[in-house]
Structure 1
Amino acid sequence: MPRSFLTFLILVLTFSIGRPRAKGQVLTLRQAVETALTNYPSIKAKNNYLSASKATVLQSRKEYLPNVNLSAQQDYGTVNGQNGPLYGMGLSVASSGLPLAKQNWNAAFGSLYLTNVNWDFFAFGRARERIGVAEKTVLRDEDDVQQELFQHEVRVAAAYLNLLVAQRLTRSWENNLQRADALRTVVVTRAKNGLNPGVDSSLANAEVSNAKISINQSRDFEQEQAANLARLLGITNQQFVLDTVFITKMPEGIADTTVRNENHPVLKYFASRIAVSDQQARYFRTLGLPVFSLFGVFQGRGAGFHSSYASDQNAYTQSYFEGIKPVRYNYLLGIGATWNMTNVLRTRQQATAQNFISGALKEEYNLMDQQLRNQLIMSENKIRNAVANFREAPVQVQSATDAYNQKSVLYKNGLSNIVDVTQALYVVTRAETNRDVANSNLWQALLQKAAASGDFGIFLKQ
């Protein structure tokens, strides 16, 4: 059997994209999908991103609440004052005292107790748009989870089919070894009895050796597919017994024309990305507008310096409790507006940049939409071709088997040669592998149709 033929079959098979069962127990496709959706780390990660987005919505809503600040301080120091201009850079002290004729180092305790309420009650919808961004992000992440679930279902089903056909190919190569070994037994017996030349034994031995090598290559490919399926299931066990019942029959209603789901999970995710970007652009536009605020302050203050200290520098006490006790109170209520006018120039460009991002996301949506439409058309063509091959494969297997049996009988009776029998053996093996590939291709085409239409149930309900 030529090795190039096995290589060709492997290339053909690579076109496609719960709970683990113990060895000997059948793992159905539905169970494999359920296991993968539960275990796969990528899906868990996207669920965590979704939870983070939901928490961000709550945080955004609470940002509209007023700021309430409580402050208390107790100090010890001097109160020398000085006339002169000063700009508050945040690095100077706020000592309160009249400018005296000369420096002194009299020191006492003081205190300040402060309650401040500040509420940006109107900012031209800034808080509402910020909350809108957070809510759109939640919808995007929800759609991201759904499209990841959908795509992973397709990936697991494809890996399941690839492993299934790899196992069936291994079985075909094992059958080929049995036929080659049986042929060798006949050839060696006839050669020992002088009925056939000794070279026939060498050819038969070579054919058996080639069959063993082909099995090893097929098992290697099968193990690769098992490892891929295990990775997608999120488990380490790579010993699978798969359900072969459904792949031996033709799916029902496979030729029915399917209209693509307008809520295709992938397209829905791409659309939600656009919605988030548009909402961000609206939010950016509000950043350049004024902010109207309500504010209120209530203050209590204490000092160890008496009211007559300006005329009598001995009128103070260093008692801690006298210094920290509040003796003067003030309150303030007000309304104000702040507007950094140059922000208009900055935020306009920021919103413009975000609009360009929205345009790019729309083009990516159009590209994905076009790809899915083409994939749906291509899947329909693949299904028609796969159905024809599925119906033709049994005819090829039966004819090849009949031809091999005839050549075997003729060889046993000395009416044929080893070359003809070997060629017939090759034709049988090729027919069986073609049958296995044709069965898999039919279901792979149906899976591709389900992926393109956005409805995995088209495949799973079969």
Structure 2
Amino acid sequence: MYFKKITLLFLLIFASAGYAQTLSLKEAIKIGLENYGSIRAKNNYTNASKETLKQSRRDYLPNLNLSAQQDYGTVNGQNGPLYGFGGLGVASSGLPLPEQNWNSAFGALYLVNMNWDFFTFGKTQEKINLSKIDVQAKEKDLEQEKFQQEIKISAAYLNLLASQRLLISQQKNLDRAEIFKKTAVARVKNGLLAGVDSTLATAEVSKAKMALNLAKNFVKEQNNKLVDLMGVAPQDFVADTLFVTQIPKELVTKETATDSLHPLLQFYKTKIDYSNQQVKLYKRFYYPTMSAFGVLQTRASGFDSSYATNQNAFTRNYWDGVNPDRTNYLVGVGITWNLTTPFRSSKQVSAQKFVSQALQEEYNQADRELKSQLAFAEDKIKITLENYAEAPIQVDAAQRAYIQKSTLYKNGLTDLTDLTQTIYTLNRAEIDRDIVNNNVWQSYLLKVAATGNFDLFINEF
């Protein structure tokens, strides 16, 4: 029977080890940054903006069009006005004849067309600058998203560790309650105590078991939150107990200053820069565009040059109709300036200036909130450090009181109520110790979140 119990114990140990994986904070952050959906999405947005920047630079290249067409049809001409509305007309050319005829032949047109906006008074360059700032904005957005994710994962990790430490404390509390129950039952059987003591002891064990189950459920909740933030499949993790044995070194050395701008503020700043750059671009639309153009065109026709006087001077031979025999070229420089554009663009400029002002107000608000959070974190750190110093004293006193009352109870020198109170006090002290230690790290993490330098936190490990 004893051998079976030992075997079962080993099976339980190995089973729990198989389902729980020890996870360091650095590993959790690394996995989370690689897998979390919003980070991967913003990484793609950043890559897309880089490609857009390349496209903006290539917009400066001239347009070069090649065209070729071969047709078959008639060439009846007619005097009269016509507007090619919507491009739905036929461009057949020929002198007007006294009457309609259905003589038809092949014809062809081949051309090379080039046009180049070689001087745009800065419009092209401002578009490129806008794309550059857009890349910076996307990169800063990605950086602040990573920073926020690092903070969230760290907080979830600390919560998981706290829940697991609470689970240990509740297990200790259950062990004490069961020992107390065994003692009470034995003394009741021997007639040394009233039967109500064993009944109350049983109630205390049940209460401790329920508290343990609540702690297990809390561990599961915190584990699931960490799993979600890491972007991995559901699994159980065991947090590193390094946090339990020490407090942040930076709190001892008092060296937490940082000169770098908070990632969130950097992101807001690039949004302001982007809006200001849009203002510059819109102003460039006030000015004209200078273009160079050139056309090389060659044509072929199955109709002879004497067709106007001799309607039999044509051929339906395909090659004769598509073989080019007339060529023209044209080169030139032009300027285009829509004089009403400045009136329209001026309102775009003024509207975008208001957008810039709005973004600046958002920046100022975020800056104020971060400063307020930093001040709150400093105060919280002071309080948690004071509690951290008091927690061991509370636990030590509660342990000594429990040992004393337990000894007195075994010797019949105190009643059940006093012993139960010391058990509760010790359990509360152990829970407070676990929470206080974790709160020191949580407070420091809050300060790091306000300063914007996550290295201050992660370099502790």
TM-score (norm 2): 0.93
Could you say which residue in structure 2 is the equivalent of 1:390?
A: 388
| 1:106 is aligned to 2:103 | yes
Counterparts of 2:117 and 2:240, CA distance in 1: 64
1:164 equivalent in structure 2 = 161
Question: How many Å separate the matches in 2 of 1:281 and 1:313?
Answer: 64
Query: 1:260, CA displacement in angstroms?
Result: 4.6
**1:397-453 Cα distance to aligned partner (Å, 9 max, x none):** 011111111111111111111111111111001000000000000000111111111
- Shift, 1:287, TM fit: 2.6
- The answer to whether structure 1 residue 37 and structure 2 residue 30 are counterparts is no
Aligned to 1:5: none
Equivalent pair of 2:276/2:353 in contact (CA under 8 Å): yes
Aligned to 1:3: none
1:139 aligns with 2:158: no
1:282 deviation in Å? Answer: 1.3
Counterpart CA distance in 1 for 2:243 and 2:158 is: 11
Structure 2: gaps (5+ residues) = 1-16
Q: Amino acid of the residue matched to residue 359 of structure 1?
A: Q
Q: CA deviation at 1:101?
A: 1.3
Deviates more, 1:335-344 or 1:420-429: 335-344
Note the C-alpha offset of 1:459. Answer: 1.3
Pick which of 242-251 and 382-391 moved more: 242-251
What are the residue-to-residue correspondences of 1:4-43 with 2, within 5 Å?
26-43=22-39
User: In the alignment, which residue of structure 1 is the partner of 2:317?
Assistant: 319
Letter of the 1:97 counterpart: G
Partner of 1:73 in structure 2? 69
Give the equivalent residue in structure 1 for 2:405: 407
CA distance, structure 2, for counterparts of residue 103 and residue 419 of structure 1: 122
- 1:87 is aligned to 2:61: no
8 Å contact kept, 1:260–1:452: no
Amino acid corresponding to residue 343 of structure 2 in structure 1 = L
Deviates more, 1:333-342 or 1:210-219: 333-342
Partner Cα separation in structure 2 for residue 341 and residue 25 of structure 1: 71
Q: CA RMSD in A?
A: 1.5
Look up the equivalent residue of 2:164 and give its one-letter code: Q
Distance in 1, matches of 2:18 and 2:239, equals 11
What corresponds to 2:14 in structure 1? none
SS of 1:253's partner is helix
Deviations 1:231-273 (A, max 9, x none): 1122114221221123321222305263353422111111011
Aligned partner (choices 47, 52, 57) of residue 56 of structure 1: 52
Instruction: Pick the aligned partner of 1:130 from 127, 131, 144.
Output: 127
Residue 12 (structure 1) aligns with: none
Give the match for residue 232 of structure 1.
Answer: 229
Q: Does the aligned pair in 1 maintain the 2:256–2:456 contact within 8 Å?
A: no
- Give the distance between the partners of 1:253 and 1:316, measured in 2 at CA: 96
How far does residue 297 in structure 1 lie from its aligned partner after superposition? 0.2
Q: Which amino acid aligns with 1:290?
A: P
Matched, 1:364 2:369: no
CA contact (8 A) 1:261 1:454 kept: no
> Offset of 1:24 from its aligned partner?
6.0
Task: Provide the C-alpha distance between the structure 2 equivalents of 1:141 and 1:421, rounded to a whole number of angstroms.
Answer: 63
Name the residue aligned to 1:7: none
Q: How does 1:425-444 map to 2 (within 5 A)?
A: 425-444=423-442
Distance 1:278 1:286 in 2: 13
Q: Normalising by the residue count of structure 1, what TM-score does the alignment of the two structures yield?
A: 0.93
- Residue 173 of structure 1 contacts residue 214 of structure 1 at CA under 8 Å; is this kept in 2? yes
- 1:335-368 CA distance string (max 9 Å, x none): 1112222222222112222111111111111111
Q: Which amino acid aligns with 1:333?
A: V
Which secondary structure does the structure 2 equivalent of 1:162 belong to? helix
Q: Which residue of 2 aligns with 1:152?
A: 149
Contact 2:250–2:256 (CA<8 Å) still a contact in 1? no
C-alpha deviation, 1:289, in angstroms: 2.5
User: Partner letter of residue 400 of structure 2?
Assistant: D
CA drift of 1:97 comes to: 0.5
User: Residue in 2 aligned with 1:119?
Assistant: 116
8 Å CA contact retained: 1:180, 1:204: yes
In 2, are the aligned partners of 1:37 and 1:149 still within 8 Å (CA)?
yes
CA distance in 1: counterparts of 2:353 and 2:248, whole angstroms: 47
SS across alignment from 1:263: coil
8 Å CA contact 1:159–1:225 kept in 2: the answer is: yes
Q: Any conservation in 2 of the 1:172–1:433 contact (CA below 8 Å)?
A: yes
In the alignment, the residues of structure 2 paired with residue 43 and residue 353 of structure 1 have an alpha-carbon distance, to the nearest angstrom, of: 32
Which residue does 1:299 correspond to in 2? 297
Partner-residue secondary structure (3-state), 2:412: coil
On the 8 A contact 1:274/1:358 being kept in 2, the answer is yes
> 1:4 aligns to what?
none
Q: Offset of 1:25 from its aligned partner?
A: 5.4
Of residues 56-65 and 138-147 in structure 1, the stretch that sits farther from structure 2 once superposed is 138-147
Where do 4+ consecutive residues of structure 1 move more than 4 Å? 21-25
Residue in structure 1 matched with residue 352 of structure 2 by the alignment: 354
Give the letter for the 1:409 counterpart.
Answer: T
Percent identical among aligned pairs is 51
Q: Which runs of 5 or more residues in structure 1 are unaligned?
A: 1-20
**Following the alignment from structure 2 to structure 1, what is the Cα–Cα distance between the partners of residues 397 and 155?**
31
Q: Which residue of 1 aligns with 2:5?
A: none
Superposition deviation, residue 283 in structure 1: 1.1
Does residue 218 in structure 1 map to residue 232 in structure 2? Answer: no
